[in-house]
A and B are shown apart, each in its own frame.
Chain A
Amino acid sequence: MADTRVSLAGLELDNPVIPASGTFGFGHEFAELYDLNILGSIALKGTTREPRFGNPTPRIAECTAGMINSVGLQNPGIEHVIAHELPTLARVFRKKVIANIGGFSVDEFTYCCALADKQGQIGIIELNISCPNLHCGGMNFAAAPDSAYKVVAAVRKVTAKPLFAKLSPNVTDIAEIARACEDAGADGICLINTLLGMRIDLRSQKPVISNKMGGFSGPAILPVALRAVYQVYEAVSVPLIGVGGVSSAQDVIEMMLAGATAVEVGAANLTQPYICRDIIEALPHVMDSYGIGSLSEIIGKAH
């Protein structure tokens, strides 16, 4: 029997498949479709200190094999998430979740993470230091090693939970930034966030997206994500979550061969709402067809 279990920074997962932040809300919409407990875990919608409406619409543009979004971290705020979203999710999902925390300042990150630290339901904190959709005064902390180090080091002081930094591919040397996060005390690295992209409408001759640019995701970015995981695997010793363009059991295995311990599925959830269930059901069969007995044994095997 194929063994799909993996151990992610101390969190024992039945399988490495995790819906990615921002593509699964707080689980409610998908709980109506299938039993969420089949999932390895769930990465919750990116959460900030204050409630945020996000960017003006249109926020979505289609691309070949992918899409651009400029949602802009719409969320009800950390207090609401803890008081309402987590208990509601607990009624249908008994495993530990990954809280995705965003912010505009180091203070905002530490504030949110200190609150998240007290929640038993949260197994891992994923620091979204790489959102491409925050412009109004916000900075992309994952753009440089110094700023990435600063935010991870500050958060490290307020939580004992496993801490993963989610990195941006829109940088010159992602391995250098991953090393800075590891040095600052990160227990793992999650990569990649979306690629900064754009579409222009031929009729209006203006950008499709109100915010002009947005985050490009979908199957088209899988090779970029694989490359980043492969590079960072050689640069750090902490575990990696691979995310970007994953939409099949084969993609999951490819990501793990590159060096990922767990794999997040993002944009595919939006167009194929049963995709995580389908991948989890297919995994043992695809493992068999490649002679893989245990997923945890193939992590980084491409190196």
Chain B
Amino acid sequence: MTQEIFEITENCLIARGIYRLHLLGNTTSMGAQGQFVNIRLEGKFLRRPISVCCYDNESITLIYKTVGAGTCQLASMHAGEKLDLLVGLGNGFDTAKSGPSPLLIGGGVGAAPIYGLCRDLTAQGKNVTVALGFNSADEAYYVDEFTATGAQVLLATADGSAGIRGFVTDAMTGLEYSYFYACGPMPMLEAVNAAVSTDGQFSFEERMGCGFGACMGCSCKTLTGSKRICKDGPVLEKGEILWPTHE
């Protein structure tokens, strides 16, 4: 982890309630797709943890949803303004486990970190399938960007306004794959867990105090002991997760 000042180069609405934030700065502490940053906002005591959509040597792209005062404040910021970030937080996805034909599953704003992973895995020559789930067509984003990586993209919307009508698990029916990676809201992750046929990794959310493992604010119980979502996660292995309904 490092603390860095990043400059906003773009902050634009890309779907209903969904923004893309492009930031220029030092990304040397980023080590994997699926990690997150923790953003300091003027007048807010706690930082806002936002997962990284993708990154390169000098920039980070975040995709976030406006859900409260903090993210709305973030949405009102403009290119040229500066942000104080803790960078390179969490473990991220382990691409070494993907096998030849991984399935990537993203729901809502949880599709964001799946994009960087998709880009990396397709660049490695993997035969990637992506299943994306959104509430409706106007909340869907990055379908073209996912397709442009060369991955096979399957789309589901709850109201049927784009892709097949249903949940992301409906889009996965009958697929064969070597491994999976999933990020999205908790009910989606639980449904995915019931639907998948291989090992895989899930990325979780939790309310955090620090975002770097100090406060124990985001601990969860797993089969391999207590884990901090911010430091030991946010990505956990399928085999270690204790799902809430099973506790």
| Complex Cα spacing A189 to B127, Å | 63
Contact between A273 and B213, CB atoms less than 8 A apart: no
B46 — which chain A residues lie within 8 A by C-beta?
60, 62, 67, 270-271
Is B99's beta carbon under 8 Å from chain A? no
| Complex Cα spacing A140 to B217, Å | 21
Known contacts A33-B1, A53-B226; A69 and B206 CB within 8 A of each other: no
Q: Within the complex, which residue of A45, A53, A64, A65 is in contact with B221, where a contact is CB–CB below 8 Å?
A: A53
Complex interface: stretch among A18-26, A87-95, A291-299: A18-26
B160 — which chain A residues lie within 8 A by C-beta?
none
The residue on A at minimum CB distance from B2 is: A33
A61 — which chain B residues lie within 8 A by C-beta?
207
A53 — which chain B residues lie within 8 A by C-beta?
219, 221, 226
Give how many B residues have a beta carbon under 8 Å from the other chain's beta carbons: 25
B220 — which chain A residues lie within 8 A by C-beta?
57
Q: Within the complex, which residue of A29, A57, A270, A271 is in contact with B231, where a contact is CB–CB below 8 Å?
A: A29
| Complex Cα spacing A29 to B44, Å | 23
Is A58's beta carbon under 8 Å from chain B? yes
Q: Within the complex, which residue of B1, B207, B214, B219 is in contact with A270, where a contact is CB–CB below 8 Å?
A: B214
Chain B interface helix/strand/loop/mixed: loop
Is A66's beta carbon under 8 Å from chain B? yes
Contact between B214 and A62, CB atoms less than 8 A apart: no
A69 — which chain B residues lie within 8 A by C-beta?
209, 215, 217
Contact between A62 and B44, CB atoms less than 8 A apart: yes
| Complex Cα spacing A172 to B86, Å | 40
Contact between B219 and A271, CB atoms less than 8 A apart: no
Contact between B40 and A271, CB atoms less than 8 A apart: yes
Q: Within the complex, which residue of A57, A65, A269 is in contact with B214, where a contact is CB–CB below 8 Å?
A: A269
Is A54's beta carbon under 8 Å from chain B? yes
Is B218's beta carbon under 8 Å from chain A? yes
Contact between B215 and A57, CB atoms less than 8 A apart: no
Give the A-B pair count, Cβ closer than 8 A: 88
| Complex Cα spacing A69 to B3, Å | 23
Contact between B45 and A66, CB atoms less than 8 A apart: yes
Is A2's beta carbon under 8 Å from chain B? no
Give how many A residues have a beta carbon under 8 Å from the other chain's beta carbons: 35
Q: Within the complex, which residue of A32, A65, A71, A269 is in contact with B217, where a contact is CB–CB below 8 Å?
A: A71
Is B212's beta carbon under 8 Å from chain A? yes
The residue on B at minimum CB distance from A210 is: B207
| Complex Cα spacing A54 to B221, Å | 10
Is B77's beta carbon under 8 Å from chain A? no
| Complex Cα spacing A102 to B150, Å | 56
Is B153's beta carbon under 8 Å from chain A? no
B215 — which chain A residues lie within 8 A by C-beta?
22-23, 25, 60, 69, 71, 270
A267 — which chain B residues lie within 8 A by C-beta?
45
Q: Which of B47, B212, B216 has the most CB of A within 10 A?
A: B216
A30 — which chain B residues lie within 8 A by C-beta?
214
| Complex Cα spacing A274 to B45, Å | 15
Contact between A59 and B45, CB atoms less than 8 A apart: no
| Complex Cα spacing A74 to B219, Å | 9
**A165-191 near B? 1/0 per residue, CB < 8 Å:** 000000000000000000000000000
| Complex Cα spacing A112 to B208, Å | 29
Contact between A25 and B44, CB atoms less than 8 A apart: no
| Complex Cα spacing A74 to B216, Å | 7
Contact between B214 and A24, CB atoms less than 8 A apart: yes
Q: Which of B16-73 contact A (CB under 8 A)?
A: 40, 44-47
A25 — which chain B residues lie within 8 A by C-beta?
213-216
| Complex Cα spacing A32 to B47, Å | 20
| Complex Cα spacing A61 to B40, Å | 16
Q: Within the complex, which residue of B44, B206, B210 is in contact with A273, where a contact is CB–CB below 8 Å?
A: B210
**A264-277 near B? 1/0 per residue, CB < 8 Å:** 00010111011000
Is A115's beta carbon under 8 Å from chain B? no
B216 — which chain A residues lie within 8 A by C-beta?
22, 25, 45, 54, 59, 71, 74
Is A218's beta carbon under 8 Å from chain B? yes
Q: Which of A25, A208, A270, A274 has the most CB of B within 10 A?
A: A270
B45 — which chain A residues lie within 8 A by C-beta?
62-67, 218-219, 267, 271
| Complex Cα spacing A262 to B44, Å | 28
A59 — which chain B residues lie within 8 A by C-beta?
207, 209, 216-219
**A133-168 near B? 1/0 per residue, CB < 8 Å:** 000000000000000000000000000000000000
| Complex Cα spacing A25 to B217, Å | 11
B209 — which chain A residues lie within 8 A by C-beta?
59-60, 67, 69, 270
Nearest CB of chain B from residue A214's CB, rounded to whole Å: 10
| Complex Cα spacing A101 to B47, Å | 29
Sample of 7 more A-B contacts, CB < 8 Å, known A53-B221, A270-B215? A29-B231, A57-B207, A61-B207, A62-B46, A269-B210, A270-B46, A273-B86
* Contact sample, A vs B, 5 pairs, CB 8 Å cutoff: A22-B215, A25-B213, A53-B219, A53-B221, A269-B214
